[in-house]
Amino acid sequence: MGENVAKIRKSILTSVLISAVIYFGIAAVFILTSKPNKPDTDQRGLSFDEMPRDLSRLPKLQSFVARDGIQLAYRHYPADSDKIVILIHGSSGHSSYWSALGELVSSEGLAQVYTPDVRGHGPTGLTTKSRGDVDYIGQLVDDVADLITIIEKDNPETMLILGGHSSGGGLAVRFAGSRYGQKADAYLLLAPYLKYNAPTTRPNAGGWVSSYDGRFAGLAMLNKVGITWFNHLTVLEFNKPEEIRSGIEVLSYTYRLSRSYNPRNYKKDLSAITQPLLVVVGTEDDCFYAEEYKPLISEYTKGQVKLLPGVSHMGVVVGPEVRPVIREWLEGLGQP
């Protein structure tokens, strides 16, 4: 009897070991052999023609200390208002591209505006260690929570609106689904990125992104069993034209940064939004399918979805068409 039990145990152990070897072997093959999934030749990529070139009126960079002791940068557009808007930039970018919208919102007294440089981005975040990287998955949500805590100390009675564009919108959605989600009184999403296979996302984000699909899959397998040793590996590359590069942009992301910048589960994270919500997308968005936002958003939460005719992915940030929409929405917040 005891001999049979021993044989069964040995057989089970052998099966488990073989399964583990196969599992880790598949993950290793994915990670080691993966190559970036280049955009198709007919994918035009992201246009930056509308982006402002004169940034002489940008507010100076300031900094706050995050919970790990690292100083993170932000810009502040002051205003005589009881509302505060935090705007998170998209992938590869930094806080300066909010200059036109930040100045408009603050100068009209609609709200104070804070535009942080996401960790690993911007002129103060480009050390070899931190460029395009974070320390752990989920750190960007913690950073946003820390910034809100600093802001609330000086502005205890204000209404706080969390907003973002593209991947920054994805981070705002992730924040909404986190334990900090109720810290925001409203959410403003400009062409938010939800997931690579969400109905709103064009293949390769319209040519903007080259992804290491196999490496993504292999690292996800390892993370599922608690192995995070290889999360520093690059999984995304951004196809930013050389003629518009300034040296400040980030051109690749590690696995842990990419995962941190997006919703954990966009369906659950969207469902967590019970606050006022405005989603704005241009009908000529280079990265996303504008017409897919309204049915998707309405399936998981209540909120307004505004489509701007003829407006591109970057135009929804800098174009004049977005200004009256945001003005009207901000003015209406808090009203009966």
Please state, as a whole number, how many other Cβ atoms lie within 10 Å of the Cβ of residue 305. Answer: 17
Using CA atoms, how far apart are residues 80 and 92, in angstroms rounded to an integer?
32
In-domain check, residue 17: no
Q: Is residue 18 part of a domain?
A: no
Average of per-residue pLDDT across 188-193: 98
Q: Using the structure block, give the residue that is written with the tokens 């069964």.
A: 8
Total domain count, the chain? 1
9: pLDDT strictly greater than 50: yes
Judge whether 320 lies within some domain. Answer: yes
Strand order in the sheet with 209-211: 209-211, 234-238, 252-254
Q: How far apart are CA 183 and CA 214, in angstroms?
A: 37
Residue 128's pLDDT is what? 46
Q: Is residue 257 part of a domain?
A: yes
125 SS3 class? coil
Beta-carbon contacts of 13 under 8 Å, excluding residues fewer than 6 positions away, are none
* Cα Rg of the chain, angstroms: 22
Q: 297-335 pLDDT, tens per residue? A: 999 999 999 999 999 999 999 999 999 999 999 999 877
pTM: 0.92
Looking at per-residue pLDDT, the higher value among 248 and 174 belongs to 174
User: Residue 237 in contact with residue 34, Cβ under 8 Å?
Assistant: no
Can you give the CATH number for the domain in which 283 is found? 3.40.50.1820
Is the pLDDT at 165 greater than 60, yes or no? yes
Confidence (pLDDT) at 41: 55
In a domain, 86, yes or no: yes
Measuring CA to CA, how many Å separate 217 from each of 56, 196, 203? Answer: 43, 13, 17
Phi and psi at 22, nearest 5°, equal -65, -45
The tokens describing 301, both together, are 């939460």
Q: Which domain holds residue 228?
A: 62-332
Q: HEC profile for 129-140? A: CCCCCCCCCCHH
Residue 53 counted as domain residue: no
Report pLDDT for 15. 75
* Torsion angle in degrees (nearest 10) through CA of 241, 245, 247, 248: -100
Instruction: Return left, alpha or beta for 161; rule: phi > 0 is left, psi -120 to 50 is alpha, else beta.
Output: beta
Asked if residue 307 lies in contact with residue 281, where contact means CB atoms within 8 angstroms, the answer is: yes
The DSSP secondary-structure symbol of 326 reads H
Measured distance CA(110)–CA(12) in Å, rounded:
66
Is the pLDDT higher at 170 or at 207? Answer: 170
**Average pLDDT in the chain:** 89
Residue 124 forms part of a structural domain? yes
pLDDT tens, residue by residue, 84-139: 999 999 998 899 989 999 999 999 999 999 999 999 998 876 554 578 999 999 99
Average of per-residue pLDDT across 138-155:
95
Element (H, E) at 307: strand 304-308
Helix (H, G, I), strand (E, B) or coil at 96: helix
Asked if pLDDT for residue 1 goes beyond 80, the answer is no
In a domain, 168, yes or no: yes
pLDDT-wise least confident of 17-31, 83-97, 212-226, 301-315? 17-31
- Span 45-78, pLDDT tens digits: 667 777 766 666 889 999 999 999 999 999 999 9
Residue with tokens 């706080």: 160
